[in-house]
Amino acid sequence: MVKPASAPPPAKGRRRGLGLTRALTLIAVLAILSLSYARSLTVYLSQQRDIAAVQAANDARRAEISRLEDEAARWSDPDYVRAQARARLGWVLPGEIGYRVITADGTILGVEPVPSAQTQAEAGGAWYDQLWSSIKSADQPFSAESDQDATAPSPGAAETPG
């Protein structure tokens, strides 16, 4: 019997090279896909974080709106307005007697102190000095030179040569 001629057996080096090429191609394609999906995933996660921040801000604003609506509803009630006037301003109704508690040093309890003229003078001098300094500084840009100009005497206070 004669054996039919068969194709020569494949060379192991050629087969091995083809498998290695396929594996490298597959790895390259997977690397490219993972890089493109990673960028998309970071954009998606960033957008989700931004959406969550905006929703939290919206919730805070809604809470503030409801608080302000409640306060507006309270102020539309005449009884609440009267109660606030009595508490804040010390008003009394006709026929009532109002009392104020005064301590030994003369301060009235429950009333915020009004700044006196002395404390206003200590804060920034007389009103006309504050007005003049604001007029002087209005046309000058803020710099080290303007700080020196602010300490200079006013034009009316300059000495005349004599």
Please give the span between the terminal C-alpha atoms of the chain, in angstroms, as a whole number: 145
Q: Give the tens place of pLDDT for each residue, 58-81.
A: 999 999 999 999 999 999 999 999
**Alpha carbon 38 to its chain's center:** 32
- Quote the tokens at residue 127: 């009103």
The answer to the question of residue 2 being in a domain is: no
The answer to the question of residue 59 being in a domain is: yes
- Quote the tokens at residue 24: 């490298």
pTM for the structure as a whole: 0.40
The answer to the question of residue 73 being in a domain is: no
- Quote the tokens at residue 12: 């192991």
Q: 38-42, 76-80, 135-139, 149-153 — which is least confidently predicted? A: 149-153
Number of domains the chain is built from = 1
Task: Report the length, in residues, of the chain.
Answer: 162
Residue reference for tokens 């080290």 = 144
What pLDDT score was predicted for residue 162? 42
CA triplet 105, 111, 114: central angle to 5 degrees? 80
- Alpha-carbon distance of 132 to 150, in angstroms, equals 10
The answer to the question of residue 77 being in a domain is: no
- The answer on pLDDT for 161 being more than 70 is no
Q: Are 13 and 20 in contact (CB under 8 A)?
A: no
The answer to the question of residue 41 being in a domain is: yes
The answer to the question of residue 7 being in a domain is: no
If one compares 114 and 87, the residue with the highest pLDDT of the two is: 87
The answer to the question of residue 54 being in a domain is: yes
The answer to the question of residue 30 being in a domain is: yes
Range of the domain at 40: 13-67
